[in-house]
Structure 1
Amino acid sequence: MPLHVPPAPAPALRTVLTALGSPTAVREARTPSLRMAEGPVTPELPLPVHVLDRTDPAGTSTRLAAWRFLIRCGERSVAAADTMLTPDGWAFSHFFEGPYITATERALRQAENMKQSFQPRLLSVPELYMLTLWLHGDCAADGATGHPAPSDLLVPLAPAPPGIASHRPHRFAEFLPLLTHRLTAAPLLSSPA
């Protein structure tokens, strides 16, 4: 089924296009593959990046943290660009590369082969150093708002934390207990003895 990619705010896209057109921004980026790209580069697949702030008996809480664009050159993504919301509106944040770009593309291809249509988003769980592709069941929803529904799918991207399989879809309702357990155990692991 086709994925229904939510439209990014026009100012977010403009800031990425401006950064891509700036030799200084590209040259100073810590992304060798972007600096060495031969041919035109284009921002594609804008995905809202939500951060999981809370999982407790009162429910889950997420917030929009960024819009991420995969930067393509020819047939492959060579980098990504994040934007952030500032008091003056959307602003370019940074370019980056690494395993999450390839993992995001793989998870998106995997989602396109599913029987149900989804709206793709990214969900970050900072305390676990985990990023997931969040497949939201309401394709008409505003990609910048909301929280995972029990039937939404989360696909952990590689590299995933130990004990969590990368690229294996989980219904949010079934995955939430594992996340909650991991998040409540994390402070115990990091506190001094």
Structure 2
Amino acid sequence: MPLHVPPAPAPALRTVLTALGSPTAVREARTPSLRLAQGPITPEVPLPVHVLDRITPAGASATRLAGWRFLLRSQGRSVAAADTMLTADGWAFSRFFEGPYIAATEHALGQAETLQQPYQARLLSIPELYMLALWLHGDTAADGADGHPASADLLVPLAPAPPGIAAHCPHRVAELLPVITHRVTPVAPVTPGPLLGSPA
């Protein structure tokens, strides 16, 4: 079943194209694979990046759109990625980067293409766990910039995943969210009781 990739805002794409056209921006980026790429580089597969800010007492997730990420492809493969962010003046280029999440994102997208149900592709960042997941949203017609993970949506943790959470294993939000909740909920300090043998 084809995976649906939501259209990125045109101004966000323009900022990436402008940065790619700037020798200074490319040269100063800490992305050797981008600097060494042969042939044209094109931004593809725009994915809205949502951040999980908190989980409410009722167990719902409070997320916000942080930006759009574009995979940068050259000669049929992804060599790096470009992030954009929303500022008071509109969309702005944020950074070029490379690393394990590029290949992990491509791998997870390939997995999603084999699923029977259609999904809309997004990314979900959980900063407290240093975790990034491909978020497969069930409403393929939704605005990629809006919404919260629904219980039937799928999350595919990208490698490297936090200890105890299997990378590239799809989980329903209803199953994975309690695990995330447990991990990010601070443990209440234990108030020590009176020592045995001491006056109460």
Fold shared per TM-score above 0.5? yes
1:117 corresponds to which residue? 118
Task: Structure 2 unaligned segments of length 5 or more: list them.
Answer: 190-200
Corresponding pairs, count: 188
| TM-score of the aligned structures, taking structure 2 as reference length | 0.92
List aligned pairs for 1:7-86, cutoff 5 A. 7-58=7-58, 59-86=60-87
Q: Deviations over 1:12-32 (max 9, x none)?
A: 000000000100000000000
Structure (1 or 2) with the larger CA radius of gyration:
2
Q: What's the secondary structure of 1:11's corresponding residue?
A: helix
Task: Structure 1 unaligned segments of length 5 or more: list them.
Answer: 189-193
**Aligned residues: CA RMSD:** 1.2
Matches of 2:132 and 2:49, distance apart in 1: 9
1:40 Cα deviation from its structure 2 partner: 0.3
Matches of 2:170 and 2:113, distance apart in 1: 13
2:184 corresponds to which residue? 183
1:171 Cα deviation from its structure 2 partner: 0.2
| TM-score of the aligned structures, taking structure 1 as reference length | 0.95
- Contact 1:56/1:180, CA 8 A, preserved across alignment: no
Matches of 1:37 and 1:90, distance apart in 2: 26
Matches of 2:33 and 2:107, distance apart in 1: 19
2:106 corresponds to which residue? 105
Matches of 1:92 and 1:177, distance apart in 2: 34
1:162 corresponds to which residue? 163
1:126 corresponds to which residue? 127
Q: What's the secondary structure of 1:30's corresponding residue?
A: coil
Larger fraction in helix: 1
**1:3 aligned to 2:7?**
no
Matches of 2:143 and 2:187, distance apart in 1: 32
